[in-house]
Amino acid sequence: MRQAKVRAILAVSLAVAGATAVAATAPEPAAGSAVWVEKDLSFTYMGFTSYYSCDGVRDKVRYVMQQVGARPGFKVTVGGCVNMTGPEIMPRVRVRAALPRIATPEVLAELAHDRSRRELAAREQGGGASAAVDTTTAQFPAQWRTLQFRGTPSSDVQDGDCELLEQLVHEVLVPMGVREVAGSRLYCVPHQVPINAVNLKLQVLEPRAAPPARP
């Protein structure tokens, strides 16, 4: 009888925890050295169920980028807007943001190539090579973190955002190094909003805090 009561309490606790829009597990073991990698990506949102104003889709994408740990100062802009306040049919979303990536030889080569290109562009514009130097490419210890988005009516992410999240994951987050993990599901049905349509589980890199100094 006592065990049954304990199981019931645990079930209620898990249900309450699952009702949040975003839940993060404890940080996972260290992933090694990482670097910030900035990407400039865009996509045209084409939904069959949910439509957003330009401000609405911008704020929704900005919220997700904050949750996945984009470096402060990232930009989310929306173009192709016809209605100033009403919903748009096909807004163009552009995300310019940096996320941590494991400092593999391929990633470091990509950064070196991009830096050389920016330095050349700076010289051609008369700014000198120093104008293009990006001091944020220094390596730092990082760890993986698992993040979960669950659609709830009162949260920043809802089941009606399924189509937007689906495009955002494939067009922006995955190219930036975010992983979708086992058990993740986006059940998008055109012209319908199924219950529990959004259960998105992502794995993201984040800087690992230095251990406290010994007294």
What HEC string does 147-206 produce?
EEEECCCCCCCCHHHHHHHHHHHHHHHCCCCCEECCCCEECCECCECCCCCEEEEEEEEE
Q: For residue 202, which phi and psi values (nearest 5 degrees)?
A: -125, 155
Query: What's the CA gap between 203 and 37, in Å, rounded?
Result: 16
Identify residue 179 by its one-letter amino acid code.
R
How many Cα atoms sit within 13 Å of 152 on the Cβ side?
A: 15
For the stretch 90-123, pLDDT in tens is 999 999 999 999 999 998 988 887 777 767 666 6
Sequence-separated (6 or more) residues with CB below 8 Å from residue 193: 49, 50, 159, 160, 162
Helices (H), the chain: 2-18, 54-67, 105-124, 162-168
Looking at the DSSP bridge assignments, the partners of residue 204 are: 145
| Higher-scoring residue by pLDDT: 15, 63 | 63
Q: Which range among 20-24, 82-86, 172-176 shows the weakest confidence by mean pLDDT?
A: 20-24
Question: Which pLDDT score is estimated for 17?
Answer: 38
pLDDT for residue 23: 64
| Strands 30-44 and 198-207, bridge-based pairing | unpaired
Tell me: pLDDT of 135 over 50: no
**pTM of whole model > 0.85?**
no
Q: Of all helices (H) and strands (E), which one includes residue 102?
A: strand 92-102
- Residue 19 confidence (pLDDT) above 50: no
3-state DSSP assignment of residue 45: coil
Q: Is 98 exposed, middle or buried (0-12, 13-18, 19+ CB in 10 A)?
A: buried
Whole-number Cα distances in Å, 44 to 18, 67, 69, 90, 111:
31, 22, 23, 6, 27
pLDDT band (50, 70, 90) for residue 15: very low
Helix (H, G, I), strand (E, B) or coil at 9: helix
